[in-house]
Homo-oligomer: A and B are copies of this chain.
Amino acid sequence: MQTPPGRRPGRPRSRRADDAILSAALDLLGERGNIAEVSIEAIAARAGVGKATIYRRWPGKEELLVDAVATLRPPLPDLDEGSMRGDLVLLLEQVCAEMDGKLQRAINALLVSRAHPEIGARIKHAVLAPRREALYQVLRRGAETGELRPGADPEAVLNLLMGGALLHRRSAGGGSPRACAELLVDTLLAGIAAPRPA
């Protein structure tokens, strides 16, 4: 959103309009599930707002939707299960669960659908980043407690897990989020190299 810096002359922008627009956008994104089928006109109508009021704040549809999605920030689960594995499973389970549902599909679409690459970055920052950060914490704690193998690159681990969740949830189809998460975490924990015959 284009936030005017500091106090400016003229009537200030309406907070109520902000809220109405963002929540109308989310409503419609959830209903239609497809970014292309959510029109600015529909958002304006549902928010009870003129189109100009939207264009005064955002340059286009995508930017608006990104901001709308960013307001979601679903709460992360409470961690501290005692073990690194437990926490990893818990987080990944939520990521898997979030893959279902229309709104989430729309968000995924926003993640990659961009001409202007900065948009993907913004939503990544707003939505993905908190999850990555939580995973990162867990890994760091695992390193402290000795549960994480020294030498494992946390960044790589993180991406393997989240990317794995992203794809596995789609390709392997059914199954509970829990089972999916456990399979991925355990596979990664154990590694896939055959143990050297000692």
Contact = CB atoms under 8 A, between A and B. Distances in A.
A153 interface: yes
Dominant SS at the A interface? helix
Number of copies of this chain that the complex holds: 4
Interface in A21-43: 32-37
Contact of A193 (B33, B111, B147, B153): B147
Given A153-B183, A156-B184, A162-B167, A193 B193 contact: no
Nearest to A102: B115
Contact of A189 (B105, B147, B153, B192): B192
A124 to B, nearest CB: 8
Contact of A160 (B112, B150, B164): B164
Given A157-B192, A164-B163, A193-B147, A152 B187 contact: yes
Contacts of A190: 149, 151-152, 191, 193
Given A193-B147, A194-B148, A153 B112 contact: no
Interface string A108-151: 11011111000000001000000010000000000000111111
A34 B160 contact: no
Contacts of A198: 198
Contacts of A20: none
B156 A168 contact: yes
A95 to B, nearest CB: 11
Q: Number of contact residues on A: which range applies?
A: 35 or more
Q: Which of A150, A189, A192 has the most CB of B within 10 A?
A: A192
Given A37-B115, A112-B112, A152-B190, 8 more contacts: A109-B112, A113-B113, A146-B194, A151-B190, A155-B171, A156-B184, A191-B192, A191-B193
18 contacts: A36-B36, A108-B112, A109-B109, A109-B114, A113-B113, A124-B171, A132-B171, A146-B194, A148-B192, A149-B190, A149-B191, A149-B193, A159-B184, A163-B167, A163-B168, A188-B191, A189-B193, A191-B193
